């Protein structure tokens, strides 16, 4: 049987053994076999504030002072953290740009920008006795009124001087949002002051009733094991399954080409459709086998802890097939298609770039990233992830759209691969050699220009 032969060829190969080892090491490093250290416990009444966990809400009274504190800290160091295209970037503003940021802070606090520039940012306006402040740590304290007291040591003073910063009482939240957007624009976008990031400054303790509701939902909807399977899928998707399958597909396809299998493949009576589909199915199956096994090993470690409770023993398999397999499908399909099209391992670079952008663009959405073109959906907030069942349910439709899109694109690439196979059989496609010559010509021109 063709499928059995393809599977055997894959699973006994050295690249596959390396692939499995990489999956095991990658997942082990993320702690997916230590879920028993973080168990779902029923909340008890009478707990102190914060003992039930926290949630994020965009409450102006909380967001404004917290965002101000963060902006003041970055302003004082002239070191702003942003993610403009997903990759972390530390922005250092010019003196003119710092002046623009001081104007924003001035409108928020009511303190004139000259004071902010000289005594907070440390920009010397000409006086040799300007103050330098360290904001954050022990030097910065928040009072009950939401204001901040900043201690500073003057160069010529024996007593510390204090500046108090607070959001102006008459500043409306809508205007504050506009000012934060201006700050984000000044930094080039992707900062913590963007409109979609402000809610992260509003950390609210859960009440007993809210914690109880989350607990009951985890029991009824996730049946406990679903939450662990979801967190496993988050790690497995972003760490290994969105990138490693392309290596497997490229290496095995290139190996066939080096072994002069092309002539045999193109003259076989086996149809291009059957050959391509069987090979693709074998690659996806081989990639998923260790994942399914590891997902159950991870999940089984907590089963005994919840003895007597209603658990969903199929949860790992459901998430493996519904959440993870589309990532394997698209990575494998890209590997097969581009390798057959070009005869080169360029698919590794293409998939690698997509994976890098996806991972870094998702840094700000690790808690719940389900956008349509996400290669690896995210649902992770550490030990609290399995308590966030409602968040998952709220985004379930987006997740399904994303996964169906990835599966659909995968099948489309497989169809294109079939067409290339068929064209090569009929001698109508010489793409490999043409593309190889193009790459070779490009390298030669580059070497000549360097010489």
Average pLDDT over residues 206-215: 89
* β-pair partners for 141: 149
pLDDT score of 58 more than 80: yes
Sign of the dihedral through C-alpha 425, 430, 433, 438: negative
- Give the position of tokens 């994020």: 56
Instruction: Name the residue among 244, 249, 324, 259 with its Cα closest to residue 279.
Output: 249
Q: Which of 57-66, 113-122, 412-421 has the lowest mean pLDDT?
A: 113-122
Q: How many Cα atoms occupy the beta-carbon half-sphere of 317 within 13 Å?
A: 3
pLDDT over threshold 70, residue 133: no
* pLDDT in the model for residue 406: 96
Distance CA 42, CA 314 (A): 23
Task: Please report the pLDDT score of residue 138 as a whole number.
Answer: 46
CA distance 359 to 239: 9
CA–CA distances in Å: residue 148 to residues 81, 163, 165, 202: 21, 8, 5, 17
**Residue partners of 411: CB distance under 8 A and separation at least 6:** 329, 333
Task: Give me the pLDDT at residue 118, please.
Answer: 80
Q: How far, rounded to the nearest angstrom, does the alpha carbon of residue 134 sit from its chain's CA centroid?
A: 32
> What does the pLDDT look like over 314-344, one tens digit per residue?
999 999 999 999 999 999 999 999 999 998 9
- How far is it, in rounded angstroms, from Cα 125 to Cα 129? 10
If one counts every other C-beta atom within 10 angstroms of the C-beta of residue 271, the result is 13
If one compares 397 and 199, the residue with the highest pLDDT of the two is: 397
What's the pLDDT at 444?
Answer: 58
Residue listed under structure tokens 């193009």: 438
* 430 vs 220, higher pLDDT: 220
Cα dihedral 283, 286, 290, 292, rounded to 10, equals 90
* pLDDT at site 450: 55
Mean pLDDT of the chain: 82
Q: Which residues contact 32 (CB under 8 A, 6 or more apart)?
A: 231, 232, 235, 236, 294, 298
Q: In whole angstroms, what is the distance from residue 152 CA to residue 273 CA? A: 74
Q: What was the pLDDT predicted at 424?
A: 82
For 138-157, what is each residue's pLDDT tens digit?
444 555 544 454 444 443 44
Confidence (pLDDT) at 46: 83
Looking at the predicted structure, is the pLDDT value of residue 403 above 50? yes
pLDDT band at residue 122 using 50, 70 and 90 as cut-offs: low
With beta carbons less than 8 A apart as the criterion, state whether 170 and 157 touch. no
pLDDT on residue 47: 78
Question: Dihedral (C-alpha) 98, 104, 110, 115: value to the nearest 10 degrees?
Answer: 0
Per-residue pLDDT band at 136 (split at 50, 70, 90): very low
The C-alpha atoms of residue 78 and residue 260 are separated, in whole angstroms, by 60
Q: Residue 39 pLDDT more than 70?
A: yes
What average pLDDT does the segment 298-314 reach? 93
pLDDT digit string, tens, across residues 74-99: 999 999 998 776 567 899 999 999 99
> Are 171 and 165 in contact, with CB atoms under 8 Å apart?
no
Answer whether residue 194 shows pLDDT above 70: yes
CB count in 10 Å sphere of residue 444: 10
pLDDT band at 60 (very low <50, low <70, confident <90, very high): very high
Contact assessment for residue 71 and residue 226, using Cβ atoms and an 8 Å cutoff: no
Average pLDDT over residues 174-196: 92
Categorize the per-residue pLDDT at 365 as very low, low, confident or very high, splitting at 50, 70 and 90.
Answer: low
**What integer pLDDT is reported at residue 153 of this predicted model?**
47
Report the distance separating Cα 336 and Cα 415, nearest Å: 11
Q: Which of 66-80, 178-192, 254-268, 326-340 has the lowest mean pLDDT?
A: 254-268
pLDDT digits (tens, 9 = 90+) for 383-394: 455 567 888 898
**439, pLDDT greater than 80:** no
Q: Return the pLDDT at 312.
A: 96
Total count of residues recorded for the chain: 451
Q: 81: number of CA atoms within 13 Å, CB side?
A: 8
Give the Cα separation of 444 and 335 in Å (integer): 26
The residue-averaged pLDDT of 397-418 equals 95
Average pLDDT on 415-427 reads: 87
Cα angle value 304/309/312 (rounded, 5°): 85
Share of the chain above pLDDT 70, in %: 78
Model confidence band, residue 127 (pLDDT cutoffs 50, 70, 90):
very low
The CA distance from 311 to 275, in Å, is 41
What's the confidence (pLDDT) of residue 408?
97
């Amino acid at each position: 049987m063709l499928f059995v032969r393809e599977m055997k060829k894959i699973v006994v190969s050295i690249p596959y053994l390396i692939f499995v080892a990489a999956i095991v090491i990658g997942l082990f490093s993320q702690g997916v076999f230590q879920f028993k250290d973080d168990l779902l416990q029923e909340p008890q009444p009478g707990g102190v504030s914060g003992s039930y966990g926290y949630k994020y809400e965009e409450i102006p009274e909380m967001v404004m002072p917290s965002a101000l504190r963060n902006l003041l800290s970055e302003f004082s160091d002239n070191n702003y953290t942003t993610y403009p295209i997903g990759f972390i970037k530390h922005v250092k503003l010019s003196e003119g740009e710092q002046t623009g940021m001081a104007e924003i802070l001035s409108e928020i606090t009511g303190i004139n920008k000259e004071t902010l520039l000289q005594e907070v940012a440390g920009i010397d306006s000409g006086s040799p006795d300007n103050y330098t402040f360290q904001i954050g740590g022990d030097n910065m304290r928040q009072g009950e009124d939401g204001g901040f007291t900043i201690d500073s040591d003057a160069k010529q003073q024996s007593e510390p001087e204090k500046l108090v910063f607070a959001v102006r009482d008459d500043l409306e939240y809508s205007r504050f949002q506009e000012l934060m957007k201006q700050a984000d624009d000044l930094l080039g976008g992707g900062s913590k002051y963007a409109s979609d990031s402000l809610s992260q400054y509003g950390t609210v303790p859960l009440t007993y009733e809210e914690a109880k509701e989350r607990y009951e939902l985890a029991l009824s909807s996730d049946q406990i094991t679903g939450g662990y399977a979801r967190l496993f899928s988050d790690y497995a998707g972003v760490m290994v399954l969105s990138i490693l399958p392309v290596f497997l597909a490229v290496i095995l396809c290139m190996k066939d080409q080096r072994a002069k299998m092309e002539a045999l493949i193109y003259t076989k009576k086996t149809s291009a459709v059957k050959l391509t589909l069987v090979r693709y199915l074998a690659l996806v199956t081989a990639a998923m086998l260790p994942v399914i096994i590891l997902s159950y090993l991870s999940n089984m470690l907590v089963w005994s802890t919840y003895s007597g409770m209603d658990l969903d023993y199929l949860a790992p398999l459901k998430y493996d097939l519904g959440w993870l397999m589309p990532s394997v499908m698209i990575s494998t399909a890209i590997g097969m298609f581009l390798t057959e099209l070009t005869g080169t391992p360029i698919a590794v670079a293409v998939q690698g770039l997509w994976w890098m952008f996806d991972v870094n663009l998702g840094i700000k959405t690790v808690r719940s990233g389900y956008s349509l073109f996400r290669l690896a959906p995210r649902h992770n907030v550490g030990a609290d992830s399995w308590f966030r069942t409602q968040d998952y349910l709220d985004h379930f439709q987006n997740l399904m759209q994303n996964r169906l899109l990835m599966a659909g694109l995968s099948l489309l690439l497989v169809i294109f691969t079939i067409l290339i196979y068929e064209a090569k059989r009929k001698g109508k496609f010489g793409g490999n050699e043409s593309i190889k010559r193009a790459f070779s010509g490009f390298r030669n021109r580059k070497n000549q220009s360097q010489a």
